[in-house]
Amino acid sequence: MATPTGARLAAAAVSIVLHGAVATVVLHAADPGPPPPPPPSIDVWLAPAPPVRAASVRSRTAGVVRQADRPAPPRPAVRASAADSAGPAPAPAGQEPVAAPPAPDLAPSAPPQRAQAATATDGFDAYARLVWAQIDRRRPRSGVRAGSAQVSFRLDRAGRLTGLRLAASSGSSEFDRAALRAVRAAAPFPRPPDDVDDARLEFRIAIRSPSA
């Protein structure tokens, strides 16, 4: 009907179409150009590069992570022997290096790998890094602002999770649960070095909720 209402509706329809067109253009324009040249060399230790995450794509914004919460940056960098073959991906020029790729959703049950270890201590260090990296790749995504959930867990000689418990609450039961699940989702882990004491296969990790 040719009333102000009809006109308004028509205007609305036009607006929607225009908006959609703008959104399409904008999104298209946002496509990154050709890959930039390799970055200045910064070594980052890594677990063997897993396949790209297929599902639950995470959004990562720099603002999520507070610099102050971080351990000191690597100088000199440490390179895990296991990472040598895979190596870190090149980062965009003048920007940040690329860190561990996201978790292998497709291969959480990948066959356990032997940590490449020469001695008990070196081997266990490398192994602990692998365990940490595997959990980090499954870190929770949460809207909860709380503290750190302290999670204890135990692995068997095959790298399987045999014990999981919350040692201290983050304050939020919801985030605590997300933290426990994150560690479980990271399992199974690679097979630990043969010469490591059982006691050292009991781990403890703090999982911090997103910063305010």
Partner 1 sequence: MFPCTSRRAALSAGAALFVLSAATAASAQSPTDLPPVQADAAPASEATPGPGAPARTVSGEVLSRRKAAGDDAVSMLVGEPGVAVQSGGGTTALPSVRGMTDDRMLVTVDGAETTAFCPNHMNPPGSYVLASAVESISLSPTLSPVSAGGDNIGGVIAIVTRGPVFATDGESLRTEGQASLNYRSVSDGGSASLRATAAGERYSLGLEGSWARGENYRSGYGRDVLSTVYETYDLAATLAARTAQGVVSLRAGRQFTPYQGFPNQRMDMTENASRFADLRYDGAYSWGDVSARASWRDVEHEMNFLSDKGGDMPMLSHGVDLGLAVAVTIPARGGVFGVGLDVRRTDLDDWWPPVAGSMMMGPDRYLNINNGRRDRTGLWAEWAGPVAPDWSVVAGVRLEQVETDAGDVQPYNWTGMMNAADAAAATAFNARDRHRTDEVADVTLLARWSPSEGTSLEVGYARKTRVPNLYERYAWGMGQMSMAMTSLAGDANAYVGDIDLRPETANNLGATLRLASPAANRALTVSLYHAEIEDYVDADPIGTFGPGASFVRLRFANHDAWMQGLEVSGRTDLWTIGGFAPASASASASWVRGENRDSGDALYHMAPLTARFTLEQPLGTWTAVAELELVGEKDRVSATRNEPVTDGYALLHLRTVWKPTDALRVDLGVENVFDEGYDLPLGGVSFGDFKAGGMVPPIDALPGPGRSVNVGLSLSF
Q: Check if the beta carbon of residue 184 is closer than 8 Å to that of residue 164.
A: yes
Query: Which run of H or of E encompasses 206?
Result: strand 202-208
Q: Report how far residue 69's alpha carbon sits from residue 63's, in angstroms, rounded to the nearest whole number.
A: 12
Q: What does the per-residue mask of binding to partner 1 show for 77-116, with x meaning CB under 8 A?
A: xx-x--------x-xx--xxxxxxxx--xxxxx-------
Query: Residue 48 interacts with partner 1 (CB under 8 A)?
Result: no
User: Does an H or E element contain 154, and which?
Assistant: strand 148-155
- In the set 2, 26, 34, 111, which binds partner 1 (CB under 8 A)? 26
Least distance in angstroms from the C-beta of 133 to partner 1: 7
Name which position in 37, 61, 85, 111 contacts partner 1 (CB under 8 A): 61
Structure tokens at 208: 């911090």
Residue with tokens 């006691």: 199
Is residue 189 a contact point for partner 1 (CB under 8 A)?
Answer: no
- Least distance (Å) between residue 188 CB and partner 1: 9
- 3-class secondary structure per residue, 55-99: CCCCCCCHHHCCHHHCCCCCCCCCCCHHHCCCCCCCCCCCCCCCC
Asked if 132 interacts with partner 1 (CB under 8 A), we say yes
What phi and psi values does residue 168 have, to the nearest 5 degrees?
A: -150, 145
Q: Distance between CA 136 and CA 101 in Å, rounded?
A: 10
Q: Between 114 and 148, whose beta carbon lies closer to partner 1?
A: 148
Asked if 124 touches partner 1 (CB under 8 A), the answer is yes
Q: Measure the CA–CA gap between 135 and 184, rounded to whole angstroms.
A: 8
Exactly one of 119, 158, 173, 195 binds partner 1 (CB under 8 A); that residue is 173
* Residue among 179, 185, 120 at smallest CA distance from 150: 179
User: Which residue lies nearer to partner 1 by CB, 1 or 37?
Assistant: 1
Identify which of residues 5 and 85 has a Cβ nearer to partner 1 in the complex. Answer: 5
- Check residue 117 for interaction with partner 1 (CB under 8 A): no
**Minimal distance in Å, beta carbon 7 to partner 1?**
9
32 binds partner 1 (CB under 8 A): yes
